[in-house]
Amino acid sequence: MSAAKVKMRQKKMRNQPASVQYSSISPLNVDNGGDTPTTSRGGDGRSDAHQSTERPKSSHHQRGWVCGHQKDGGGYAREMPKYITAGAFARARAAEVSAMLKAVTKTTGSSHVFGALPKHMRRRAMSHNTKRLPRRLREVANRMREKSLQAGSKKKKEQAKSKSRKARRRHGNLLLEFNRRQRKNVWLETHIWHAKRFHMLKKWGYCLGDRPTYKCYRPCYRAMSSHCLLQDLSYYCCIELQGEEHKLLASLSQLTSKEAGPTFAAALCLSGRRQGSVVVYRAGQYPSQPLGPVTFLWRPRTQGSTHRQLWIWAHPTLKQDLLPELQSVCQCCEAVVPPVVLEVAPAEVVPAVESEPKAEKTPEVRQITGTKRKRSHKDASGPPAKKILGDGTRSPTTPVTWKSSSTGIVINDLTMEIVRYRLIGPQSHSVLAETLEAATDCADMNKSEPSSLWWPEHCKDESKMNLHQQQADVFHILKGIYSTGELPTGTVLGLTVDDPRLTLPTKKVKALPCVKQAQEVDEEKRRELMLRGVPEHCCQSFLWEQSVRNNVTDHKISEQELNRMRSEVLVPGSRLSPTPLQGRVPILLVHQPGKQVGHEMSSWGAGWDLLLPKGWGMAFWVPLVYRGVRIGGLNMSLKHSQNKGAPHFPHDYPDCPAGVRFQEEQEAELLDKFKRRPPAKRTNYIKHGCLAPFRCPWQQLAEEWELIVREGGEERGNRTQSTTEADTVMEEMTSHQDVTVTKPPSRFTVLRNRKAVKLLSSWCRPSTSKGQRSCRVGEVPLLDRSAKISFLATHGMSVVWVRLSLLSKGKPELHTILCVPTTEDLKLLNKEPGSSGPQEPPHRDHFKSRIKCRKKCSKKPAASSQSSDKTEGKGLDLPSASDPNPITTEDTKSSSSPPSDLVFGLWPDPLPSVSSHCSRVTLGWVTQGDFSLSAGCGEALGFVSVAGLLNTLLNQPREHRGMVLLRNPTSLQYRFAKINIEV
């Protein structure tokens, strides 16, 4: 019998009692009516079980009852038992009878009553028409059918069929679906446009475009270098502060320091002519506990008033730390509850398909199950759903305004209230000049009549129209400028423009500077604009007023109305004349600086930021796209920062709370990706000498270098580590490091003191990217032991931002190790300038055998503890003295961890010494690395320990000062690189 038949028979017989089989020796061996076999009591003392296992030689000598047919064709034995127990026999037979009745009456699975019929009488149509069943089974079948229908209706709640795709794609249904999906993640106004062309990413509570679906890395770089790249930065959070100027400056001064650069009180920024940027700290905690970088913009002063208005723009991950700190220093703890609006505002409409009220079902109008749902007349006459503008995840009762009764300062959260686009490239001003046109006057309108629109009311004021004309003249001068980088950094221009949809071209055209317009511009005015920027009174904009923003958003012309107006034009394709009164939009143009540090590619990546009221995002986005710009996402923002040599937030801010959270998320993501690969295909980072391939232990690095310098580590900083010296370093680190699971408090800081960074840069001898030409520096003190000690007295636990350029081939990767070259390495560089560099000796994996042993132990849980201890002792390979990274017994004990923490190829926590783990001393790590299209070689950005850098520079010869080694986590090959600290 096959295995399948055996299983089938066991399934059928699972409710039956065990088969009865008598012993072949004696009928007396079976008692109680065949239920319980008893053991024999023969003189030989053998049990009946042993005797029954012996197969008889011939079937003719079988005795007793045997279940089933015999192989030789013989029948059953006729010998019967001599006596039975009546009670036990009756119980056994009763169990068999009850099992037989149960098997007959039980209905199986999905067959229900049809299982009671013979197979030749069953028909498929019986499940639909019960009259095809015999009369005796019709009643039961009808009851079961009604029961199944009731269960199905409870489960599905009589839900109709899903709508067809044509119905789902209707505007009303599509809008309901989009509003429902905006409950969890905020959508930008350009979300639908990006979702069709980009890989979308859910980050920081937003749905953002990460990178395009088509290959465009080099075209985007060319756009940033020669034309224009467009990005949507509306996810940046805007916080508005209003109050007296001196009170605002007194409160904000607690968050900044003049040592780190210009603050909120910088003269040019305070006047409203320039946008400023600053790194914000917790109140009174400089230089420790930084929060992150912010940009700020003051509204220009009004005559006879000390009341000021300030916008602070911050990254969404920084807002959760910045907003409570601003409330604390400004003493704004009184939340202003938003008024309850009876009308449903666009930003508060969050309708969904599930929440639609259902009409009461009457007998006449009853929806039949299985038919498509039609919209009732009552639903059709109701107000249509409105598109969500702003933050759809925020509750209408959530406070967005806080005020202080003592200082009079008011804080408003304007997140998603202002649309912000960034144009990067030398021709950004040409794109803006072709897309935007200054608003026209309302000459044909009777100015005595009141209007609900904001622009006709402003046209009645002569002073406001004079200001608008001056701003339009400055914008006209902007067309004659050759490159965006020629303007002063952070220049601000306020303007009111016409609806750009009115001048939308029929085809995509590439916006280029017009030579004819450039010749028409007055040369003296253009030179004045390039040297001094925009006058202060022209920086004013009506975008600062909330009433104007709301008026512009509420009275925007819809696409349907605009298309109807276009269809009525006599000449198809011509501009609408006169311009509709609703088509005037106040904007702000803010100049964004390019590369500001270093001596190469000055002003690369400069551009403009375009600030708009909410609701007008797509009205400006499509006309900009039609001017031939490239579109970038989050990935291109990172590359833009990398090419400028500037730290990118939150990636390159390891001492900020947002940077710490980002590093933890990145480590979890990379570790999960590493574990998804099979062990045979993973990189063994232990053999490559990489302790932390998915994160950078900055705190441990700063502590170790402070200890090395304090205990006289000058000799260790520039040597080839031998076994004895490495043992000494490891013992020191083991005794110094607190081997606990808890993480030490983050006491290290990033060096942001301008004077200290300039001094450190001069000691590194700043040079060009490949180190061929040295740059002139002023008189600086010489680097000696006393200068090093005095510098480290205040900045010993700091790391500094550096740029590294490879001297030969190579492409730095994320978390690349920065090491100190030995004397032999520098001799090799002198002998062979184009040398690839030294190699790291392969390390031994001391945990590989332990992982194998623990896997074997997990497969054999019944093994004794003594044998497992012996196996573990044999399997653990202790490092020998010839290893490049020997470890002590204390390190071996400390590195032992539970089996769940051991991952093949990764060093478990706590880590040993990160500075002395490899054959070259570690200085820091790379946070951004790639092949630079601008420099033509591999470039990296990262941090190094200030103590380690000074110790290295002091021990290096002058001709090789600032030379370091780079090594990728997945490689053993070192590459020579020049270190630059750009200021």
Q: Is the dihedral of CA 830, 831, 835, 841 positive or negative?
A: negative
| Element holding 456 (H helix, E strand) | helix 454-459
Cβ atoms 841, 884 nearer than 8 A: yes
Distances (CA, A) of 793 to 199, 716, 786, 946: 49, 20, 11, 11
pLDDT beyond 70 at 728 = no
Please give the pLDDT value at position 743. Answer: 46
**CA 255/CA 570 separation, integer angstroms:** 61
Cβ atoms 826, 963 nearer than 8 A: yes
State the pLDDT confidence band at 713, using cuts at 50, 70 and 90.
Answer: low
Beta partners for residue 979, in sequence order: 804
Local structure of residue 839 (DSSP, 8 states): B
- The encoded tokens of residue 743 equal 């993480």
Task: List, as one string, the DSSP characters of 483-511.
Answer: -GGGSPTTBEEEEEEE-GGGG--SS----
Please give the pLDDT value at position 13. Answer: 67
Tens-place pLDDT, residues 424-468: 999 999 999 999 999 988 766 666 677 888 888 888 888 899 999
The most distant pair of C-alpha atoms in the chain lies apart, rounded to whole Å, by 133
Beta strands 937-945 and 922-932 are antiparallel
Please give the pLDDT value at position 361. Answer: 37
More confident residue, 930 or 340: 930
**CA 453/CA 581 separation, integer angstroms:** 7
- The encoded tokens of residue 892 equal 């071996």
Task: List, as one string, the DSSP characters of 588-634.
Answer: EEEEE----SSSSSTTTT-EEEEEEETT-HHHHHHHHHTTT-EE--H
Tens-place pLDDT, residues 147-160: 888 876 665 555 55
Cβ atoms 475, 438 nearer than 8 A: yes
Q: Which residues contact 671 (CB under 8 A, 6 or more apart)?
A: 694, 903, 906
Tens-place pLDDT, residues 592-633: 998 888 778 888 999 999 999 999 999 999 999 999 999 999
Mean pLDDT across 42-68:
44
Tens-place pLDDT, residues 248-269: 999 999 999 999 989 999 999 9
Distances (CA, A) of 575 to 73, 572, 679: 105, 9, 66
Cβ atoms 309, 242 nearer than 8 A: yes
Please give the pLDDT value at position 320. Answer: 92
State the pLDDT confidence band at 78, using cuts at 50, 70 and 90.
Answer: low
Please give the pLDDT value at position 831. Answer: 87
Q: Which residues contact 868 (CB under 8 A, 6 or more apart)?
A: 857
Among 161-165, 275-279, 776-780, top mean pLDDT goes to 275-279
Tens-place pLDDT, residues 111-125: 567 677 777 777 777
pLDDT beyond 90 at 662 = yes
Residue type, 740: T
Distances (CA, A) of 663 to 550, 652, 695: 40, 10, 7
pLDDT beyond 50 at 344 = no
pLDDT beyond 80 at 92 = yes
Q: Report the candidate in 350, 811, 415 with the shortest Cα–Cα distance to residue 614.
A: 415
Return mean pLDDT, the chain: 79
**CA 252/CA 243 separation, integer angstroms:** 12
**CA 494/CA 475 separation, integer angstroms:** 9
State the pLDDT confidence band at 423, using cuts at 50, 70 and 90.
Answer: very high
Three-state DSSP class for residue 802: strand
pLDDT beyond 50 at 872 = no
State the pLDDT confidence band at 778, using cuts at 50, 70 and 90.
Answer: low
**CA 685/CA 907 separation, integer angstroms:** 8
**CA 128/CA 164 separation, integer angstroms:** 28
Cβ atoms 903, 609 nearer than 8 A: no
Beta partners for residue 578, in sequence order: none
Q: Is the dihedral of CA 691, 697, 698, 700 positive or negative?
A: negative
- The encoded tokens of residue 835 equal 């040398």
| Location of structure tokens 């394709």 | 573
**CA 210/CA 547 separation, integer angstroms:** 34
Please give the pLDDT value at position 74. Answer: 52
Cβ atoms 729, 918 nearer than 8 A: no
Q: Report the candidate in 708, 704, 710 with the shortest Cα–Cα distance to residue 691.
A: 704
Please give the pLDDT value at position 968. Answer: 94
Mean pLDDT across 345-372:
40
Q: How many helices (H) and strands (E) does the chain have?
A: 32, 25
**CA 578/CA 440 separation, integer angstroms:** 9
pTM to 2 decimals? 0.74
**CA 476/CA 438 separation, integer angstroms:** 9
Three-state DSSP class for residue 737: coil
Q: Report the candidate in 413, 369, 467, 459 with the shortest Cα–Cα distance to residue 150.
A: 369
State the pLDDT confidence band at 372, using cuts at 50, 70 and 90.
Answer: very low
Alpha carbon 262 to chain centroid distance? 31
Cβ atoms 941, 927 nearer than 8 A: yes
- The order of strands in the sheet holding 237-244 is 276-281, 290-298, 307-314, 237-244, 410-413, 401-403, 334-336
pLDDT beyond 60 at 652 = yes
State the pLDDT confidence band at 661, using cuts at 50, 70 and 90.
Answer: very high
Tens-place pLDDT, residues 932-957: 898 888 999 999 999 999 999 988 88
Q: Which residues contact 688 (CB under 8 A, 6 or more apart)?
A: 840, 842, 843, 969, 970, 971, 972
Cβ atoms 186, 392 nearer than 8 A: yes
Cβ atoms 918, 884 nearer than 8 A: yes
- The encoded tokens of residue 935 equal 């420099």
pLDDT beyond 90 at 329 = yes
Q: CA 512, 514, 519: angle at the middle one, nearest 5?
A: 150
- The encoded tokens of residue 142 equal 């009808």
State the pLDDT confidence band at 518, using cuts at 50, 70 and 90.
Answer: low
Q: CA 413, 415, 418: angle at the middle one, nearest 5?
A: 115
State the pLDDT confidence band at 482, using cuts at 50, 70 and 90.
Answer: confident
State the pLDDT confidence band at 1, using cuts at 50, 70 and 90.
Answer: low
- The encoded tokens of residue 848 equal 């590989």
Cβ atoms 518, 480 nearer than 8 A: yes
Q: Report the candidate in 731, 696, 765 with the shortest Cα–Cα distance to residue 929.
A: 696
Q: Is the dihedral of CA 934, 939, 943, 946 positive or negative?
A: negative
**% helix, strand, coil for the chain, step of 5:** 40, 15, 45
Tens-place pLDDT, residues 788-812: 888 998 888 999 999 999 988 889 9
pLDDT beyond 90 at 750 = yes
Mean pLDDT across 415-430:
94
Tens-place pLDDT, residues 525-582: 888 888 888 999 999 999 999 999 999 999 999 998 998 988 888 888 788 877 888 8
